């Protein structure tokens, strides 16, 4: 039975049940109360409060300036807007640099927001951090491939796993992160064939973004899905609406109505 038919708050057990059944997992980002409520009502299983809020909401060029306080504020708003979806919060740049720092950050997120899990970027080197959090009862979603927090080290945004050594590194990292206790792994902008191999190899769900159709689930930035952008949309995103156009039209009509209103008579 699909988890989407149940009104209770979804947990890692429900997400694993979807994986075992072969039903695809739908995940989207949200950064505010109203958007989260609408996404929740539409039946998404996982809502990610991503540090992509730095780009999407706060206007930064990268995710690096996003702070833990930023994440806690937005994650709390998202959680309060939901009743059913599992809510996962990113640990932003510098807040998961070692196991103890990550543990403190994750505890703050769970205590202050209500979120059920955190997401940590990084390959096999992040496995000890994942293990430390899981040891303390904190569910962790891992994230490999294109990891935006490492954009300067990576040298930009590009597809990962193009050659055999790179593919094997990703496969090994996925295996280590599963062993460390991650309940799911985001595969971002990875060669689809490599993402498919990782998905087939693992017992836990893979959540793809720009990594082909064979992952156990998919995630998109909500603004890319609904066309609420002022800049270019990633090539792998196919907007289902033009919310930006609707807003521009509505505001334009409002401005025209205000300008057309008769002037108030002068006094004196």
What residues act catalytically? 188
Q: Are 201 and 174 in contact (CB under 8 A)?
A: yes
Q: How far is CA 261 from the centre of its chain?
A: 45
Nearest CA-CA partner of 160 in 224, 235, 218, 210: 210
DSSP class of residue 180 equals H
Nearest CA-CA partner of 182 in 114, 134, 132: 134
User: Phi then psi for 239, rounded to 5 degrees?
Assistant: -55, 140
Rounded to whole angstroms, the Cα distance separating 180 from 38 reads: 34
- C-alpha distances (whole Å) from 135 to each of 10, 101, 257 are 21, 15, 60
Using alpha carbons only, give the angle 218, 219, 222 rounded to the nearest 5 degrees. 140
Residue 198: both structure tokens together = 């990782």
The helix (H) or strand (E) run that includes residue 94 is none
Residue 159: both structure tokens together = 């597809």
Q: Are 86 and 114 in contact (CB under 8 A)?
A: no
């Amino acid at each position: 039975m699909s988890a989407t038919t149940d009104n209770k708050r979804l947990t890692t057990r429900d997400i694993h049940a979807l994986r075992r059944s072969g039903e695809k997992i739908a995940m989207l980002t949200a950064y505010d109360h109203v958007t989260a409520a609408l996404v929740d009502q539409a039946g998404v299983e996982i809502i990610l409060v991503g540090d992509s809020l730095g780009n999407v909401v706060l206007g930064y060029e990268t995710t690096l300036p996003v702070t833990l306080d930023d994440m806690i504020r937005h994650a709390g708003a998202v959680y309060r807007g939901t009743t059913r979806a599992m809510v996962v919060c990113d640990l932003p740049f510098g807040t998961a640099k070692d196991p103890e720092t990550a543990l403190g950050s994750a505890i703050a997120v769970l205590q202050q927001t209500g979120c059920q899990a955190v997401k940590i970027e990084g390959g096999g080197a992040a496995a000890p951090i994942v293990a430390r959090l899981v040891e303390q009862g904190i569910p962790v979603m891992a994230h490999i491939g294109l990891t935006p927090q490492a954009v300067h080290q990576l040298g930009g945004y590009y597809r990962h796993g193009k050659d055999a050594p790179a593919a094997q590194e990703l496969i090994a990292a996925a295996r280590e992160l599963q062993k460390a206790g991650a309940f799911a792994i985001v595969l971002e902008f990875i060669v689809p064939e490599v993402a498919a191999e990782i998905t087939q190899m693992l017992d836990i769900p893979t959540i793809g973004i720009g990594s082909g159709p064979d992952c156990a689930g998919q995630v998109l930035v909500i603004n890319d899905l609904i066309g609420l952008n002022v800049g270019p949309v990633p090539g792998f995103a196919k907007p289902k609406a033009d919310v930006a156009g609707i807003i521009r039209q509505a505001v334009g009509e409002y401005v025209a109505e205000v300008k057309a209103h008769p002037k108030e008579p002068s006094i004196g």
